[in-house]
């Protein structure tokens, strides 16, 4: 990868409704925005904004469309998401039965040299007709000459065939590592290929992907995110070290990742990452703690509080992976035990009893959630949660009413919904018995991708369309007030440069 200095973007004038999602409203006070040298220099009338720019500037006129702050995806996994998109898609959008899944894997194997790995991703057992995980023997039959790794949608489970298990050194004699588990056949108790929270061990057995393949996958994935209006990516890898930083910052430096990048620092690597790289396009983010990860040495409130205390002593915020009620309580207790809890964040928090919502609000702790899952894995929630749990699933109405700062994210590759689609998911009444009355307003959802996400991620230079802030913008047409998913992204601007334009938008613009 070669570092390239970012060219100075041409002066830009966009004529459209200028909006900033803020609470339950969408403020429309201006009809144009002017961008110069990567920053917003004026908002107001088209005439006022034109006067703030040199005579030779680009002018995009999109009557009836809206300009919003660029969307911030506050929690995702760049490399995993990109490589998943490049692998065999076994998600619910691609397959609905195990035979269909196996057929895709068999076809992929037929296109690869014998002995090479087949990487498949995205299956969700609750949305397969059989409502179970595939097995090693089924994968053996589909790809007898290849090791196969089939990763669950969540990233916390996977199924390996016999060749892959052997390469990973896993057999009947291997004990389950702490925090991990093996699936076993109900008939004979033998390993059935299912592994829980053992990604590190499996990845260590696999050859690293070719760097050119990684660049191609990341570039394609990043362009798709631009088409969704995403201008900032926050990588939330719990083991991010200098190695991951170098890879991600390099992809930002050479333009493969055109968005702004924030990289969280794994708790075990506190203090290793520099504050920024790639001319400021890559920044160090929060300290990430995943207490229940394989080989993790952070367990319990006391240990977690020690990590928080060390991070806070270095002037850092902490983001704690908390997928259960118990882990949310532990995170909150640890934040309090370490001192001032304000500014830290809890990741996921899908189930929140009323008392916990109030406690989070009182502590000044933020919640980062994934609204796309409400529509993507509805069946999982309905099958696996008790009636009491379903009632408290993603209670964002209660959270906002209590004063909790909320940010949204995709957790890609876990969710594949873009910000507009996910905002409709968050603002629609849930199906069945899933948390009735907890839908939020569309503008509240959009705020969680913009001003709210900027606050949670301590990105004070973005999240609003105001003079002085960076010119990260998205131009959208459609019914934002009622159904963001029905809207279309017309253009995405990063640092004042138009990096995505929908077909026809360029011809609508003109140069003064």
Portion of the chain with pLDDT greater than 90, in percent: 87
User: Mapping DSSP to helix (H, G, I), strand (E, B) and coil, where does residue 470 land?
Assistant: strand
Q: Is residue 292 part of a domain?
A: no
Within 10 Å of residue 482's Cβ, how many Cβ atoms?
12
What is the pLDDT at residue 335?
97
**33, 206, 225 from 414: Cα distances, Å:** 35, 21, 15
User: C-alpha dihedral over 86, 88, 90, 92, to 10 degrees?
Assistant: 40
pLDDT tens by residue, 230-259: 999 999 999 999 999 999 999 999 999 999
**pTM for this model (two decimals):** 0.93
Q: In terms of domains, do 11 and 92 share one?
A: no
Within 10 Å of residue 390's Cβ, how many Cβ atoms?
18
What is the pLDDT at residue 187?
86
Q: In terms of domains, do 96 and 30 share one?
A: no
- Under 8 Å CB-to-CB from 5, ≥6 apart: which residues? 279
Write phi, then psi, for 20 (nearest 5 degrees). Answer: -130, 115
Q: Is residue 60 part of a domain?
A: yes
Q: In terms of domains, do 46 and 92 share one?
A: no
Q: In terms of domains, do 39 and 112 share one?
A: no
Q: In terms of domains, do 141 and 168 share one?
A: yes
User: Mapping DSSP to helix (H, G, I), strand (E, B) and coil, where does residue 89 land?
Assistant: strand
pLDDT tens by residue, 41-85: 999 999 999 999 999 999 999 999 999 999 999 999 999 999 999
Is residue 474 a contact partner of residue 484, using CB atoms and an 8 Å limit? no
Instruction: Please say if the pLDDT value at position 110 is more than 60.
Output: yes
Q: How far is CA 301 from the centre of its chain?
A: 26
Q: Is residue 184 part of a domain?
A: yes
Q: How far is CA 26 from the centre of its chain?
A: 24
Q: Is residue 308 part of a domain?
A: no
pLDDT tens by residue, 303-329: 899 999 999 999 999 999 999 999 999
> What six digits make up the tokens of 482?
């009622």
pLDDT averaged over the chain?
Answer: 93
Q: In terms of domains, do 4 and 116 share one?
A: no
pLDDT tens by residue, 246-302: 999 999 999 999 999 999 999 999 999 999 999 999 999 999 999 864 334 445 889
Give the whole-angstrom CA distance, residue 318 versus residue 286: 5
What is the pLDDT at residue 386?
95
Calculate mean pLDDT across residues 31-46.
98
DSSP output for 209-275: PPHHHHHHHHHHHHHHHHHTTEEEEEE--TT--HHHHHHHHHHHHTTSS-SEEEEEEEGGGTT-S-S
- Give the chain's domain count: 2
Q: Is residue 305 part of a domain?
A: no
Least confident of 15-29, 144-158, 259-273, 275-289: 15-29
**2, 65, 440, 466, 492 from 19: Cα distances, Å:** 37, 10, 19, 10, 15
Instruction: Please say if the pLDDT value at position 506 is more than 80.
Output: no
* Continuous H helices in 58-152: 78-86, 98-110, 136-142
Q: In terms of domains, do 88 and 199 share one?
A: yes
Q: Is residue 355 part of a domain?
A: no
Is-cis flag, bond preceding 413, omega within 30? yes
What is the pLDDT at residue 4?
52
Is residue 440 a contact partner of residue 427, using CB atoms and an 8 Å limit? yes
Query: What are the respective helix, strand and coil percentages of the chain, to the nearest 5?
Result: 35, 25, 40
Within 10 Å of residue 36's Cβ, how many Cβ atoms?
20
Print the domain residue range for 160.
Answer: 81-205
- Count the alpha carbons within 13 Å of 102 in the hemisphere toward its beta carbon: 16
Of residues 389 and 25, the one with the higher pLDDT is 389
Q: Is residue 377 part of a domain?
A: no
Q: In terms of domains, do 120 and 152 share one?
A: yes
What is the pLDDT at residue 376?
92
- Whose tokens are 């995403």? That residue is 230
Give the whole-angstrom CA distance, residue 347 versus residue 455: 15
Q: How far apart are the first and last CA of the chain?
A: 37
Q: In terms of domains, do 123 and 35 share one?
A: no
Closest by CA position to 108, among listed 86, 127, 130 = 86
Domain boundary among 145, 180, 205: 205
Domain boundary among 174, 205, 236: 205
Total residues belonging to the chain: 512
User: C-alpha dihedral over 395, 156, 122, 263, to 10 degrees?
Assistant: 80
What is the pLDDT at residue 385?
95
Q: In terms of domains, do 60 and 85 share one?
A: no
What is the pLDDT at residue 411?
98
Instruction: Please say if the pLDDT value at position 512 is more than 50.
Output: no
- Whose tokens are 């507009």? That residue is 420
Domain boundary among 172, 205, 238: 205
Q: For position 185, which CATH number holds? A: 3.10.310.70
pLDDT tens by residue, 164-202: 999 999 999 999 988 889 999 988 989 999 999 999 899
pLDDT tens by residue, 415-457: 999 999 999 999 999 988 899 999 999 999 999 999 999 999 9
Confidence label for 511 from pLDDT (cuts 50, 70 and 90): very low
Give the whole-angstrom CA distance, residue 65 versus residue 477: 4
- Count the alpha carbons within 13 Å of 113 in the hemisphere toward its beta carbon: 1
User: Mapping DSSP to helix (H, G, I), strand (E, B) and coil, where does residue 146 land?
Assistant: coil
What is the pLDDT at residue 28?
84
Q: For position 16, which CATH number holds? A: 2.30.40.10
Strand segments, DSSP code E, in 105-172 are: 118-123, 148-152, 157-160
> What six digits make up the tokens of 55?
């005579």
Instruction: Please say if the pLDDT value at position 488 is more than 60.
Output: yes
> What six digits make up the tokens of 484?
């963001």
Question: What's the sign of the alpha-carbon dihedral 133, 139, 142, 148?
Answer: positive
Q: In terms of domains, do 49 and 88 share one?
A: no
Closest by CA position to 485, among listed 432, 420, 408 = 420
Q: Is residue 414 part of a domain?
A: no
- Whose tokens are 């569309």? That residue is 442
Q: In terms of domains, do 130 and 173 share one?
A: yes
């Amino acid at each position: 990868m070669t570092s390239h200095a970012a060219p100075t973007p041409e002066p830009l004038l966009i004529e459209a409704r200028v909006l900033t999602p803020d609470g339950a409203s969408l403020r429309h006070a201006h009809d144009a925005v002017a961008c110069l040298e990567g920053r917003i220099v004026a908002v107001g009338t088209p005439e006022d904004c034109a006067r703030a720019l040199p005579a030779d500037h680009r002018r995009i006129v999109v009557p009836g469309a809206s300009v919003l702050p660029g969307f911030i995806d506050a929690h995702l996994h760049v490399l995993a998401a990109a490589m998943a998109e490049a692998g065999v898609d076994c998600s619910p959008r691609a397959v609905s039965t195990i035979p269909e899944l196996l057929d895709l894997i068999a076809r992929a194997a037929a296109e690869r040299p014998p002995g090479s790995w087949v990487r498949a991703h995205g299956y969700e057992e609750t949305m397969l007709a059989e409502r179970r995980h595939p097995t090693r023997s089924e994968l053996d039959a589909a790809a007898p000459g290849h090791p196969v790794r089939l990763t669950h949608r969540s990233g916390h489970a996977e199924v390996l065939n016999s060749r892959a298990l052997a390469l990973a050194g896993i057999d009947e004699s291997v004990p389950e590592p702490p925090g991990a588990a093996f699936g076993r056949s109900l008939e004979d108790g033998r390993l059935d290929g299912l592994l829980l929270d053992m990604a590190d061990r499996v990845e260590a057995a696999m050859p690293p992907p070719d760097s050119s393949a990684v660049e191609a996958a990341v570039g394609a994935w990043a362009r798709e995110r631009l088409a969704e209006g995403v201008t900032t990516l926050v990588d939330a890898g719990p083991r991010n070290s200098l190695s991951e930083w170098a890879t991600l910052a390099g992809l930002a430096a050479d333009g493969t990742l055109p968005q702004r990048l924030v990289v969280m620092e794994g708790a075990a690597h506190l203090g290793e990452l520099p504050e920024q790289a790639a001319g400021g396009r890559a920044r160090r983010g929060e300290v990430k703690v995943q207490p229940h990860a394989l080989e993790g040495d952070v367990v319990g409130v006391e240990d977690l509080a020690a990590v928080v205390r060390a991070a806070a002593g270095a002037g850092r915020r902490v983001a704690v992976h908390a997928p259960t009620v118990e882990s949310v309580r532990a995170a909150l207790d640890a934040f309090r035990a370490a001192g001032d809890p304000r500014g830290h964040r809890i990741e996921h928090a899908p189930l929140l009893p009323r008392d916990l919502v109030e406690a989070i609000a009182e502590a000044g702790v933020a919640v980062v959630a994934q609204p796309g899952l409400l529509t993507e894995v509805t069946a999982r929630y309905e099958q696996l949660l008790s009636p009491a749990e379903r009632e408290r699933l993603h209670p964002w109405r209660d959270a906002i009413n209590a004063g909790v700062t909320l940010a949204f994210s995709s957790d890609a590759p876990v969710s594949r919904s873009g910000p507009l689609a996910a905002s409709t998911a968050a603002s629609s009444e849930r199906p069945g018995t899933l948390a009735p009355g907890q839908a939020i307003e569309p503008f509240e959802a959009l705020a969680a991708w913009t001003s709210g996400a900027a606050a949670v991620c301590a990105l004070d230079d973005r999240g609003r369309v105001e003079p002085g802030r960076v010119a990260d913008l998205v131009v959208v047409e459609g019914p934002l007030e009622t159904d963001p998913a029905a809207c279309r992204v017309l253009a995405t601007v990063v640092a004042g440069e138009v990096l995505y334009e929908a077909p026809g938008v360029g011809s609508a613009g003109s140069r003064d």
